[in-house]
Amino acid sequence: MARSGFQVAVAGAVSCLTLSISSAGFAQGAPDLTALTTQRAAADVCSGKLSSKALVKAALDRAKAKPELNAFITLDEAGAMKSASAFDSRRRKGKCQLLGGVPVVIKDNIEVAGLPATAGTPALKNFVPKKDAPVVQKLRAAGAIIIGKTNMHELAFGISGYNPAFKTGSEPGVRNAYDQTRIAGGSSSGTGAAIGARIVTAGLGTDTGGSVRVPCALNGCAALRPTVGRYPQQGIAPISHTRDTAGPMAVTVGDVAILDRAIAGGEALAPADPKRLRVGIVNAMLANADSDTETAFRTALDKLKKAGVTVVEVEMPNLAELNSKIGFPVALYEAYDDMVAYLRTSGTGISIDDLAKSIASPDVKGTYDGLVIPRKLPGPNNSVVDAKPAYDDAIKNSRPALQALYRDTFANNKLDAIAFPTAPKVAILSNPDASSLANFLLFIQNTDPDSDAGIPGLQIPAALGASSKLPVGFEIDGPPGSDRRLLAIGMAFEKIFGRLPPPSAR
């Protein structure tokens, strides 16, 4: 297996990889990862039908068999098997945990004790945190086994995942689980690809403007961008404290709900009653949609209507114009101070200037050198302007106005959710051009406004495109704090849409 840039943590004897999976009380045989869900895996481990060692070994084997995806920066083979063995030893039948013994992956800008936290950038390749980020602590407490850290768009500044700094395959860039010539989306690229390829059933990403939802839209998985502040953000390399949040990603919405329970608490959810749901459609959000995406979205709406969901057209005047006054001003201005603080307090031992000098991706390098470091924003006629005035206006005026627009739209139309295509297009070809500004703006067209408003958004796999046979995503947004209600709605919609076939079944 090609391992250029592929860090393998060997926190224990290699012999642990060959441990027998036939411990007393466990059935033999490798689990079928293509059909498994997080919920099913945890139940099978709890009942003794499956050992955590068997499940983790199957995930590791599948990860190593797919180096061309470039999904991982660090694969913790020995550590994961050691944790799985320890879990099996202390397992007590009937005493189940939400994620008991289930392998998961973590985006590499989220700190995991003892494993590098590179944020996908060379300057941090030797940074090894001593403790888990709080969101990781929550997953471990629920019984999850972390098998590795996933590749990402460098420093989370992009939607393509085309990162030349870390690769395990012959070509750079995290690759799509359904077509390796195409992008995996970003910036939580590796987590999306690993779940889409059925290496694992669940993982964590982060989302500033679409970074858990776009990868899952393009790789056929589900993801929640929670209300900002629902999850703790400590121990995560930042872009913007106003916009950033960690987010769960999984093969089903039901599995996303389990991860959300592990992190934020709450009882088990039941799917909402479709006949009691009212969903709004903003036609402007269908702009720039390719034929596969528009057809899949409209077909999904027809299915919802037949199931009893009330679907209504609504207006959100000046949504794009209002959002444009917030997105870049907030993200680019806060990126400097937030990263400086993170580098200082997390123990990286480097400065933001050191970080910027080693950036490998041309698009991210240009953003840091031209805008983040000098505290500038793009201006007219290829000029730059000071970022502070636009930032102050965004925080004081434009963001509250955007939040009011969403609040009024939900309230005045009596909506449970607003629905739209997560990404306007299916995955495009993976090459340096995929990271262009035009593609960035295109793919966050629908996911950026809700990010700026701080409200929750849930990506649901809708279909494979009629001509491309690539995944198409369907998103629903809800009012702030409605995360669990949104998940219940998503669970109902998922039943109506049906699960996508795995990549191998194309």
Active site residues: 107, 187, 211
Q: How many CB atoms lie within 10 A of CB 313?
A: 9
Which element (helix H / strand E) includes 484?
Answer: helix 483-497
Strand-pair category, 384-386 with 245-250 = unpaired
Q: Contact, 216 vs 473, CB < 8 A?
A: yes
- Residue type present at position 20: S
Task: Name the token pair of 349.
Answer: 């031992």
Question: In whole angstroms, what is the distance from residue 484 CA to residue 465 CA?
Answer: 29
Considering only CA atoms, which of 269, 176, 320, 325 is closest in space to residue 495?
A: 269
DSSP state of 456: -
Question: In whole angstroms, what is the distance from residue 164 CA to residue 159 CA?
Answer: 14
SS3 of residue 247 by DSSP: strand
| Residue in the block written with tokens 């592929």 | 6
Q: Contact, 292 vs 426, CB < 8 A?
A: yes
DSSP 387-422: SHHHHHHIIIIIHHHHHHHHHHHHHHTT-SEEEEES
**Cβ contacts of residue 466 below 8 Å, gap of 6+?**
291, 292, 295, 296
Q: Contact, 85 vs 51, CB < 8 A?
A: no
SS (H, E, C) 18-78: HCCCCCCCCCCCCCCCCCCCHHHHHHHHHHCCCCHHHHHHHHHHHHHCCHHHCCEEEECHH
Considering only CA atoms, which of 80, 78, 82 is closest in space to residue 14?
A: 78
Considering only CA atoms, which of 192, 200, 158, 151 is closest in space to residue 172?
A: 151
Q: At what angle do helices 291-306 and 483-497 cross, to 10 degrees?
A: 100
State the number of CA atoms in the 13 A half-sphere of 505 facing the CB: 10
